[in-house]
Amino acid sequence: MTGPARLSEQARRRALRSVLRRIDHEAAGREFTEPRPAGAEVPLTVDQEWLYTAAQAVPDLAAMAVTARLETGRRLDHARLRAAVEAVAAATPVLGLLVREHGGTLVQAPGELARVRWHDSPDEPAWREPFDPRRGPLCRAAV
């Protein structure tokens, strides 16, 4: 890890505000449970803002990434696997959401349908890169 990145004054304020909101919501036992209206931009939940802020403060923390490697002794049908992964991504709208800032508030903004970024080798350095929730795509696969 290379250590914390230098944060702008605005980012420091946002991080502090995020911590205070999280403490307030935990103390009050509140959670966001209302569904997001289709196509609407809504503020990040406390936990989303917390993860986003952590990832911005320490970019190589990869707080926004979950990596899994699967091996099989059987022959794979690459076309079928690719079609299955892309079908799951298309059916998972949250993978298309992006983080934007409007008026100092971080919001979930609808993006394009999730695109799977494919790699030829599971050992590529791209697997170590954290996802960027501002640009996407939020899904990668390799065979």
Of 12 and 48, more confident:
48
| 53 domain-assigned | yes
pLDDT of residue 30: 60
| 4 domain-assigned | no
pLDDT of residue 53: 81
120 φ, ψ to 5°? -80, -25
| 122 domain-assigned | yes
Number of neighbouring beta carbons within 10 Å of residue 74: 5
Whole-number Cα distances in Å, 101 to 10, 41, 93, 114, 126? 12, 10, 20, 20, 26
Measured distance CA(108)–CA(122) in Å, rounded: 30
Question: Domain tally for the chain?
Answer: 1
Structural domain boundaries, residue 109:
9-142
62 φ, ψ to 5°? 55, 40
**97-102 sheet: strands from edge to edge:** 42-43, 105-110, 97-102
pTM beyond cutoff 0.75: no
| 113 domain-assigned | yes
Residues 106/52, Cβ–Cβ less than 8 Å: yes
Closest CA to 104 of 22, 13, 8: 13
| 1 domain-assigned | no
| 47 domain-assigned | yes
pLDDT at residue 50 greater than cutoff 70:
yes
pLDDT at residue 32 greater than cutoff 60:
no
> Helix, strand, or coil here: 142?
strand
Q: Check the CA dihedral 132-134-137-138 and report its sign.
A: positive
